[in-house]
Structure 1
C-alpha cells in the first residue's frame, strides 16, 4: 500500500481493533486494561523489529503503518487530551465539586507545586543539568492520571465525595502542571531569570483565563443546544465540537490553559447543559463520551507501548540512577500529599476525612499518563531545547510512566488487600447470606408450580427443590451463626437499603420524563450525601444527611443576596421553583419506599428494626411535607400549575404506552401510530419547560398589602415605594439578631415572623412591622426575629427612616406608638 491516508487508516484502526479486543481478555484475567494494552504495544514493537524490510503484504503494511504512526505531542495534546479531559469532567457532580473546591485546589495547586520543587530539588543534586530543567521535569512527573483510582473507588463503594476529590484534584492538577511547565519552558528557552511575582501573575492569568474561556464557550453552545432540543445527534455532536474548540481556542489562539477551558466547558455541560439537552440526548451523550474516552485511552496506551522501547533503548547507564531518584522523590512527594496534606485538610474542616487505606490507594495508584507524555514529547520535538535537555526529559518521563504502568497499576490490588478494602464487612456478609436465603426460599416455593405448568414430573421437581431448600437452610444456619451484629449495625444496613431504593425511584422518575435532568442531578446528589453519612455514622448520619438535604444551599443563598442587594429576582425564582419540584419528587420517592421497600426488608432485618426504620421514614416524610407546604402556602397558584403539569405529563406518557400496545396487537397501523405519537410529542414538548414563578416582589404590589399605607395618596405611595426595598425571607431565617445595632426596620407584606421575646414570643403577621424600636429609641436589637415560613418584607434603612416619618404624620404616630408599647412590655417583663 502506498504511503498516505490509507496507510494511516490501516495503522490507526488496526491498533484500535487490537486494543479493544484486549478488554474481554483483561476482564477474564482480571488485569488492569491500560497496563495490558501498553504491554501489547511493547510486544508489537519487539515483534516488528525482526520483520523490518520483509514484504508481508497487508501484515507488512500494518507493520509499517503502526511503526510510522508516531506518538507526538500535538497528537496527544490536540487529539487525545481534550477527549480524555472532557469525558472525565463530564461525569463529575458540579455541586459536590464546588462543595469541596478548596481542598481540591489546595491539593491540585499547592500540592503540585510542592511536589514539583521536591522532585526538582532531588534531581538537581544528582543530575548535571540546571535547576530550572530539573524543576521542569518535576512539574511533568507531578501530573497524575485518576482513571485507575477512580475506577477502584467505584468498585469498592467508596464515598462519592472521595471519588470527586480524587478526580477533581487530578484534573486541576493536570492543568496546573501544564501551566507551570509552560512558564518554566519559556524561562529555559529565553534564558530569563526566575521572578516569583511574574511567575505567579503568569500562572493566574493562564489558569483563570482558561476557566473564563471554557465558561463563555460552554454557555454559547448551551444557548445553541436549547434551540435544537430533541435532536439528540445534533446535541451530542455539538458537545464534541465544544470539547475540541474550547481547548484549541484557549491553548492556541488565546494562550491560556486549554485543559482548564475544556474542564470548565464539560462541567457547564454536565450541570447547566442538562436542562437544555433532552433526556434521550443526554443518554446518547453519556454513551458517546464513554466510547470516545475508551477509544482515546486504548489508543494512547498502545502507542505508548510502541514508543517506549525505542526511547528507552537510548537510556544512558547514569540515567538509571537519576530515574531511581526521580521515582523515590516523586513517591515521597505524593506520600506527603496523601498522608500529611489530606489529613490536615480534614482537620481544618474544609474537606472530608479519608481513611489510611483509601489514602494508600490514592498514593500508590497515582499513575502517570497522557499529560506527562505530551509535555515530555513537546520538549523532545522542540529543537530550541538543547539536545541533552531533550534526551534527559523524554527518557526519564518515559521510564517513569512505564514504571507506574507496569509496577504501580498491577499492584494496587495488593494495597487494597493489605488494608482489607477488598473484603466484605461483617454486616455485608450477613446481609448477603440472608438475601440468598430469602431468594432461594422463594425459588423453592415457586418451582413446583412452574414444573406443573411445564408438565415436568413431580419427582424431578422435588429433587431440584430439595437442592434449593438444603442450600437455603445452610445459608440460614450461617446467617444465624454470624448474626452478631448490634442494633445500630442492623439499622445502618436498613438505612443504606432505603436510600438505595430512594435513589432508584429518582432514576425512574427521570427515565419516565417526570422530572428535569437538573432536578434529577440535585436529588441523586442528596441521596448520595445521605448514603455516605449513613454509612459513616448510622442513624445520626441519616438524620444529619436528610436535614442537610432540606437546607438552603449556597446557590439559594446567593440568589437571596442578589435579590436583596440588587433587586434582581430571576435567579431566586428559579431556585425556588427547583426547590419546589425537588421537594415534591423527594416526598413521592419516600412514599414509594414506604409502600414497597419496607416490606422487602423485613426478612433481612427483622420486625423490630423494620419498625424503627418505618418511624425514621415517617419523620423524614413529615419534614419534607413541612418544607413543601411552606412553599405551597406562599405560592398556591404556582403549586397548582406544577401539579397540573405533572398530571398532564403522566397522562401523555400513559396514552403513548396505550397506543404502543394497540400497535403491538395490530389494532392500529404504523402510520397511524406515528401520527398519534407526533401529536403527543408536541403536547409533551409544550410541557417540558418549567413554569415561571412570579415572586411578586415589586414595591407596588407589596405596599398595597400593608394597611398602614392604604390611606396615602398616590404621590405619597410612590414616594414610599422609593424608600422601601422588597425582599423575601425564608423559613427559620433570623431576620433580626438580638444585640445587633439597628440598621433598619421591616414591614410584613405577607407571611409572619416571630419575635422571640420572653416570656411569650410575639407573632407579627401581614400588615405588621418590626425593628422600629432600635430606630426610635436608638438602642441595640432587643430580640431575635425569625421567619415563620416564606415572608415578603419591605425593608426600610435607617437613612430613609426619618424621611418616611416626615412623609405622613399618621404613619409616624403609629410607628412611635407601637415602639413605646413594645418598650413598656419589655420593661414590665
Structure 2
C-alpha cells in the first residue's frame, strides 16, 4: 500500500474521531454508537465506489480502506491492552472493594452463565456443534462500558452505578477472552461436544498464571521507574511498554491469560505507583494513558465497524432467527443474575444491596462492542475453523453487536431518565437551591463593590443590579432553605458538604505535598465513603463511616494472627506504620474543618446545624486522638518520627514557595532557580520514605508502662511478653459474653471498655483489667464487656494468670481493690487461686 495513501487514511480517521464526539453530544447518542455508525458508512462507501461505474477516481482510496491490515491480532495485541491498562490506572480500587461481590458476580459468574445459556440455546435450535455454539456464547458475553459510562456521566447518574459497570467490564473481558481461548481450541481441534466442566477446570490456571505474570511485570517496571526518578518521560515510557510485554509474555511464553496479566499489572501499578512516583509524574502518566486509550477505543470501534458490511454479506433468513436466539438467551442469562442471584446474595448478607433501578440500568446497558467484533474476526480468519462455522459465528456476533448498539444504545439515555437515575435526590435538589440562593447573595455583595471600584454608569449599575436582584429574589422565593427542609435533612446536607470539603482539603494537601501520595488515596476514599454514607443514612451513616475509617480491618487482624502464631512480623509492622500515618493525616485534615463549618455551613444551614456538626467533628477528632494515643503507647517514639517527617515536608513546601516568589520577582535567574528546585527535589525524595517501624521489642515496652506489672523484673517482663497475646478491637466489639466459661484475663493497653453486670455499668481505661473474677472464682461469667473506643488489649490465659498472681504483689493488690468494689471477699478469691495453682 502506498505510504501517502496510508498516511492520508490514518489522518482522516483521526479527523473522524475528532468530529464524532461533538456530533454524539449534539445528537444525544453514545459516542461509540456514532463511531460504529461512521465506520459502517465508510465501509459501505468503499465497497460502493469499487463496484460502481460512476467514477474510478476514488478507487485507490476505497481499495486502500478495504485493504487496511485489520486483523484480530491488531485488536487483541495493540488496542485491547491499552484500553484495559488505562481503565485499571483510573479506577478507585478501594471504592470498588465496597461492591466487590456484585462486580465479581457480574464479571465472572454472569459471563459463564451467559456463555452456557447462549451455547446450549444455539445447540438446541441450530445445526452448529456444541463447541461452536459455546464459542459464540463466549464471544457475545463480554460487555463494552464506554458508551454506558459516558451516558451515565453526562446525566450525573449515581457514582456507584458507574463503578459497578466499570468494574464488571474490566474483569469480564478477561473472563470472556479466557473462555474464548478454551472453546476456540476445541473448535480447531475438531472436538464437537466438549465437556464444559473440563473446560472450566482449566479456567483458574489461566487466571492465576496471568495474575502472577502481570504482578511480576509491574514490580519490575516499578523498580525501573524508581531508578529513573529524575526522568519523568522515561517513567512514562516504561509504563507504555508494561501492558504489551505483560500480555505477550503471558500469552506466548506461559500460555496464561494475557488480559488477566494486563489487568493485574495495571492494578499493581495503581496501588503502588502513587507511593513511588512524584505526584506530578503520576498525574502526567495517567493523562498520557487517558489520551492513548481515547484514541485506541475510537480506532478499534471504527476499524471493527469497517468489517461489519463484509461480515454480513452472506446473511440468510435462518441466520436472523439465530441472532434472535442469541439476543434472548444473553438477555435472559443476564436477567437471572441481576434479578435472581444478586437479590439472593443480598438476602443471605453476602453482598451489598443493588437497587432495582440500578439492576435495570445494568441489564439494558449491557452493550457489546469492539471486543466482541474482534473475537468474531479471529474466528473468521482462522483457516483451522471450518467455513460454515466461520460464517455463522461472524454473522451472529456482528448481528448481536448491532442490536445492542442500535436498539439498546440509542434508548439507554431514555431508559435512565425513565428510571429516574438522572434526577437529583430531593435532598440534593434542596441543597442546590440553597447553594444558588447563598451564592447569588454573595455575588450581589461582591458585584456592588466591584462596580463601585470601576466607577461605572449609575444607570447601568442600577439596571443590572435590578436584573440580578430579581433573579436572587426568585431563587430565595423558590428555595427558602429553612422553610422547605427539615432539620434532619439540613443536617444531612451539612454532613455531605463537610465531607466534600474534607475531600477538597485532602487534595489541596496532596498538591502541597504535606500528605504523601501513597496516603492520599486512602484518606480520599475515607472522605468519599463519608459522602455516600451521609447521602444514604444521614447522621448515623456519617458516624458509621467515620468509625470505619479508624477501625482495625480484617487485613490488620490477619497480620496480627501471622505475627502472634507464626512469628511473621513484617505484615504487621507495615500495616501499623500505615495506620500511624493514616491517623496523623486524618488529624491534620480534621483540624482544618472547623473553620469551614463556621464560615459556610452556618450561613447556609443555620446555627443549630453548625453546632451539631461541630459536635460530630469533635467526636471524630477524639476518636482519632484515642486511636493515635493507643499506638503511641504501644510504639513510643514512632509518632514523633512521622511528625518530624511532616514538619520537614512542610518546610520544603514553604522553601519552594519562597524560591518561586523570588523567581517571579526577578531576584534570582532561571539557572539558580533550577538548581534550587533540583536540591529541593532531592531532599523531598528522602522524606517520601516512611520511617521503619520495628515491632519486635515494643510489647515489652508496653507492658513495662502498665502499673499492674511494675514490680516484675526484666526476666519476668520478657516471659510475660511472650505469654500475652495482643488483640485489637473496634468500638462496639463484644469482648466478654455472659454465661460463658471464664478462661482468660484482659489487660487494657490502650482505649476504653464498658463492663455491664447485674444492671450496673462501669468503664475501664488504660492499665486496668477485667475478666479476672470469673477466672479466680471458677464460675461462668456474669458480666458482659464491650469496647467503646479503638482499643489494644493484652490477653493472658487462666493458668499463666494464676502463676503471675503469685509472683506479682501489684497485681494481687489490684485484684483485691477490684473485688472490694464488687463486694467480693478477696481472701476467698486468693484461696481459690492457690487451690487452682
**Is the shorter-chain TM-score for this pair beyond 0.5, marking a shared fold?**
yes
Moved more, 480-489 or 440-449: 480-489
* Residues 809 and 32 (structure 1), Cα distance of their counterparts in 2 relative to 1, 3 Å cut: closer
Normalised TM-score (structure 2): 0.88
Change (3 A) 1:742 1:397: same
Q: Which digits, 9 at most, give the CA deviation of each residue in 1:622-681, with x for residues without a partner?
A: 333333333344445222222222222122212211221121111222122122222222
Q: Are the aligned partners of 1:34 and 1:298 in contact in 2 as well (CA < 8 Å)?
A: yes
- 1:22 aligns to 2:20 (yes or no): yes
Closer, same or farther in 2 for the Cα pair 1:812/1:191, shift >3 Å?
Answer: farther
2:226 equivalent to 1:221: no
Task: Measure how far apart 1:796 and its partner are.
Answer: 6.5
**Residue correspondence of structure 1 range 402-801 to structure 2 within 5 A:** 402-480=402-480, 484-697=484-697, 720=719, 724=723, 727=726, 729=728
Q: CA RMSD in A?
A: 3.7
Q: Equivalents in 1 of 2:125, 2:96: separation in Å?
A: 40
1:114 aligns with 2:88: no
State the Cα distance separating 1:332 from its structure 2 match. 2.2
Measured in 2, the distance between the counterparts of 1:440 and 1:809 equals 72
Could you tell me how far apart the structure 1 residues matched to 2:469 and 2:595 are?
30
Between 1:728-737 and 1:192-201, the stretch displaced more is 728-737
Which deviates the most, 211-220 or 748-757?
Answer: 748-757
Report deviation, 1:597: 4.6
The Cα of 1:161 is off from its aligned counterpart by: 4.2
CA-CA distance at 1:413 after TM superposition: 0.6
Aligned-pair CA distance for 1:302:
0.8
How far did residue 298 of structure 1 move? 0.6
* Structure 1 residues 547 and 147, CA gap change in structure 2 (3 angstroms): same
- Separation in 2, partners of 1:698, 1:633: 9
Q: Report how far residue 309 of structure 1 moved.
A: 1.2
Equivalence for 1:275:
275
Contact in 2 for aligned 1:774/1:781 (Cα 8 Å): yes
Distance in 2 (CA, whole Å) between partners of 1:751 and 1:128 is: 71
Question: Is 1:371 matched up with 2:371?
Answer: yes
Query: C-alpha distance in 2, partners of 1:11/1:538?
Result: 56
Can you list the C-alpha shifts for 1:715-739, whole angstroms capped at 9, x where unaligned?
Answer: x988x48964664645667676666
**Cα shift readout 1:249-301 (whole Å, capped 9, x = no counterpart):** 11222111111111121111111222112201110111111111101111011
Q: Do 2:495 and 2:534's aligned partners in 1 also have CA atoms closer than 8 Å? A: yes
User: In structure 2, the residue corresponding to 1:272 is in which secondary structure?
Assistant: helix
Distance 1:608 1:704 in 2: 47
Distance 1:748 1:611 in 2: 33
Mapped to 2, the partners of 1:493 and 1:749 lie a distance apart of 39
**Equivalent in the alignment of 1:45:** 43
Distance in 2 (CA, whole Å) between partners of 1:240 and 1:121 is 41
Any idea what the Cα deviations from partners look like across 1:391-444, whole Å, max 9, x if unmatched?
A: 110111011112222221121111012122223344434333333333333333
- CA drift of 1:776 comes to 8.1
Closer, same or farther in 2 for the Cα pair 1:642/1:271, shift >3 Å?
same
Structure 2 residue aligned with 1:264 = 264
2:64 matched residue in structure 1? 65
Q: Distance in 2 between matches of 1:84 and 1:659?
A: 41
Residue 181 of structure 1 aligns with which residue? 180
More deviation in 148-157 or 199-208? 148-157
Unaligned 5+ runs, structure 2: 827-837
Residue of structure 1 in register with 2:131 after alignment? 132
1:112, CA displacement in angstroms?
1.8
Query: Aligned residues, how many?
Result: 820
Mapped contact 1:752–1:789 kept (Cα < 8 A):
yes
> 1:201 offset after TM fit, Å?
2.3
Distance 1:215 1:827 in 2: 61
**Offset of residue 79 of structure 1:** 0.7
- Superposition deviation, residue 817 in structure 1: 10
Relative distance call for 1:330 and 1:632 in structure 2 (3 A) is same
Change (3 A) 1:789 1:486: closer
Separation in 2 of the partners of 1:638 and 1:817? 33
Q: 1: CA distance between counterparts of 2:625 and 2:794?
A: 28
| 2:95 aligned with 1:88 | no
Give the drift of 1:50.
3.9
Deviation at 1:485, TM superposition (A): 3.2
- 2: CA distance, partners of 1:475 / 1:717: 70
- In 1, the alpha carbon distance for the partners of 2:779 and 2:225 equals 56
Partner of 1:12: 10
Q: Is the 8 A contact 1:230 1:281 kept in 2?
A: no
By how many angstroms is 1:592 displaced?
2.4
1:74 CA displacement: 0.5
Q: 1:703 to 1:828 in 2, by over 3 A?
A: closer
Match of 1:151 in 2: 150
Return the offset for 1:484. 3.5
1:187 CA drift (Å)? 2.4
Answer with 458-467 or 120-129: which moved more: 120-129
Instruction: Give me the whole-angstrom Cα distance separating, in 2, the residues matched to 1:794 and 1:527.
Output: 32
Which stretch of structure 1 is more off in the superposition, 360-369 or 671-680?
Answer: 671-680
Contact 2:711 2:810 in 1 (8 A): no
| 1:465 CA displacement | 1.4
- Does structure 2 conserve the Cα–Cα contact (< 8 Å) formed by 1:742 and 1:774? yes
Q: Equivalents in 2 of 1:628, 1:554: separation in Å? A: 19
Change (3 A) 1:189 1:116: same
Give CA deviations for 1:132-184 in whole Å, capped at 9, x if unaligned: 32222112111111223333444455554443332222222222222222222
CA distance in 1, matches of 2:168, 2:711: 59
1:814 Cα deviation (Å)?
9.5
Show the counterpart of 1:77.
76
Q: Distance in 2 between matches of 1:382 and 1:521?
A: 45
1:292 corresponds to which residue?
A: 292
Alpha-carbon shift at residue 702 of structure 1 (Å):
6.6
Q: Does structure 1 conserve the Cα–Cα contact (< 8 Å) formed by 2:652 and 2:684?
A: yes
Tell me the equivalent position of 2:348.
Answer: 348
Q: Name 1:360's counterpart in structure 2.
A: 360
Deviation at 1:326, TM superposition (A): 1.4
Distance 1:773 1:254, change over 3 A: farther
Judge conservation of contact 1:10–1:62 (CA < 8 Å) in 2: no
- Structure 2 counterpart of 1:331: 331
Q: In the TM superposition, what is the alpha-carbon distance from 1:37 to its structure 2 partner?
A: 1.4
- 1:18-46 CA deviation, whole Å, 9 max, x = no partner? 21332233234433111111111112122
Query: What corresponds to 1:244 in structure 2?
Result: 244
